[in-house]
Amino acid sequence: MHQFSDPEATLEDIMALPGDSKAELIHGKIHIRTPPSEKHSKICANLIEQICSQSRARSHGEVLV
């Protein structure tokens, strides 16, 4: 008996998603990315602030995000 596998997704499938969708095409499968939580965003902002502060204090150059 022949088993059929799911067809692989294509770039056209990604482009057909709603405009605000964040998705990736990995090995023929669409992976929808969920937005980070507010807690995650605050942690990132705090880390960036600390890195920038330390870089300025030690004259180590610019931090680009």
pLDDT digit string (tens) for 18-47? 888 889 999 999 998 888 999 999 999 999
Kindly state the percentage of the chain with pLDDT values over 70: 91
Q: What is the pLDDT of residue 4?
A: 46
* pLDDT above 60 for 5: no
**Stretch (H or E) spanning 43:** helix 38-57
The whole-angstrom separation of Cα 30 and Cα 16 is 12
Is 0.75 topped by the overall pTM?
A: no
**What's the pLDDT score for residue 6?**
63
Q: Do the beta carbons of residue 21 and residue 32 sit within 8 Å?
A: yes
What pLDDT score was predicted for residue 51?
A: 94
